[in-house]
Amino acid sequence: MPLYVVFQHSSDFSPMTDTASTPEANRPEARKPRGFQDKRSALLAMEHKLVTDISAVYASWGFEALDTGPFEYVDALGKFLPDTDRPNEGVFAIQDDDEQWMALRYDHTAPLARFVAEHWNQIPKPFRRYAAGPVWRNEKPGPFRFREFIQCDADAVGVAGPAADAEMIAIFSEAMQATGAGVGDYEIRVNTRELLDGVMKAASVGQGEQRLIVMRALDKMDKFGAEGVGLLLGPGREDESGDFTKGAGLDDASIATLLAFAGARRDSRSQTLNVLADIAGGNEAGAQGIETLNAVHEILNALNVTDEMAVFDPAIVRGLEYYTGPVFEAELLREFKDEKGRLVRFGSVGGGGRYDDLIARFTGEQVPATGMSVGVSRLAALLAAEAEAEDDKADGPVVVLALQREHMADYCALASQLRAGGVKAEVYLGSSGMRAQMKYADRRKAPAVVIVGNQEREAGTITVKDLVAGAKAAKGIEDNAEWREQRPGQFEATRGDFVARIRSVVEDNG
């Protein structure tokens, strides 16, 4: 019986009362659990944009939105994750007050299977739905690999045959382009479990544990290469830390067959099919897999999905155990710098496939289904990091400096006028002086600051500092006295026209 994580009340969870008097030795360390993110505005905005743009693609293909909620009963959720070496088998679970176990969903597909089985008589068939939201996996975290992450899925239930799978691949390609990836920046890599079954039979791979080890090994071809995968298919592999991973125990001939299969990809889908037919087409399962991919290829051509957008790659296995037919994975070909400053390819940003047996867990009858998922959080983390590194836009709020606390009501009124005029604005509410307030505005990426002191109040004017124009002009000024005399980027406005003039500054810097 699997062991699940239990969240429970403890005496360690005491309310925060007089924290200032807490002895230093008893103060908790401010730290975040590994694999979870603190998200600031840039990352949140990127995630929201990706979900909105990808969902629009799904809706244009006729899919309806559905949210099933974060928790499912453990027996209904099922256990299909590949990370079986975790003591709780990859999920976060709690026991309800009725002693039933429920877990945070690890994807959107397993909850969809429960929903379809529960509402079969009320939904249209086929049932085409999309979903977006967080999922949770208690797996080992790493760079751009989180324990909580947002997925954006599309699934079609009650559809058999390669046309539905080809359509999913085409939708996947369109969704990638909606994220800003151009043709050549990504590829959808396609394989089929039927073909994998055929080559496993040809390589005399057994069922049960040996089959799972082989699937996990082939899925690591990009990570470990042929040599490393060969060790995993044979005696096992020891990594740099000394940890040993048990191998499948296959002989040299079987390993050679599987490695030839995994490396059968060629420049075009049709060329790859020809190679695969020689390796895996000698038995019924392999021949069926070749036939399936041929049909997918024909329909992809009809949908204008080129070889550059979608490729046939036998190295794609997909770790989830519920797949029964074609599987596909989207890879972002863009490179980024890792924590050691090395350029590496970003890799997978989503996947999917056919799962004809998942709903049968509830109904006892097979219901064909296929779907795909974009890993929004993983993709957003990269795009937000790139945008932050390249971003020199002053797209924050205009900051109204609070130089005279007795006039705070007037400062608030000025900020309110700006917001009413369509300009993001805030009043500095801290307790620091002008120098610190200007530094705050800079950190907020403010395009401008509003200054009203005694001089402006007596003249009935407002001083505006265009921070972007000032920074550009200041680059050509070396003398402090000259800078003080010219005051680059600074101008005076009246209370009647300051909103329009600041709006012009914001638009110029947009």
In 10 A of CB 431, how many CB atoms? 8
Name the pLDDT band for 337 (thresholds 50, 70, 90): low
Domains in the chain: boundaries: 41-195+205-223+263-272+304-389, 398-508
Identify which has the larger pLDDT, 393 or 164: 164
64 touches 117 (CB < 8 A): no
Whether pTM exceeds 0.85:
no
Q: Which two tokens stand for residue 246?
A: 């048990």
Q: Which two tokens stand for residue 222?
A: 């990009």
**Distance, CA of 213 to CA of 233 (rounded, Å):** 7
Read off the pLDDT of each residue in 234-244 and give the average, rounded to a whole number. Answer: 87
Buried/exposed 295-322: b ≥16 CB within 10 Å, e otherwise: bbbebbeebebebebbbbbbbbbbbbbb
Residue 5 clears pLDDT 50, i.e. is over it: no
**Whole-number pLDDT of residue 461:** 95
Name the pLDDT band for 87 (thresholds 50, 70, 90): very low
Of the CA atoms within 13 Å of residue 429, those in its CB half-sphere come to: 6
DSSP string, 337-370: E-TTS-EEEEEEEEEEEE-TTTTHHHHSS---EE
Residue 81 clears pLDDT 70, i.e. is over it: no
Identify which has the larger pLDDT, 335 or 432: 432
Name the pLDDT band for 117 (thresholds 50, 70, 90): very high
**Distance, CA of 420 to CA of 413 (rounded, Å):** 10
Q: Which two tokens stand for residue 434?
A: 């002008």
Identify which has the larger pLDDT, 78 or 39: 39
Which long-range CB contacts under 8 A does 364-367 form with residues at least 24 apart?
Answer: 367/116, 367/157, 367/158
Q: Is the CATH number of domain 41-195+205-223+263-272+304-389 3.30.930.10? A: yes
Read off the pLDDT of each residue in 370-378 and give the average, rounded to a whole number. Answer: 94
Q: Is 10 helix (H, G, I), strand (E, B) or coil?
A: coil
Q: What is the pLDDT of residues 250-265, one digit of tens each?
A: 999 999 999 988 888 9
Query: What is the Cα Rg of the chain in Å?
Result: 29
Q: What CATH number was assigned to the domain covering residues 398-508?
A: 3.40.50.800
Name the pLDDT band for 469 (thresholds 50, 70, 90): confident
Residue 197 clears pLDDT 90, i.e. is over it: no
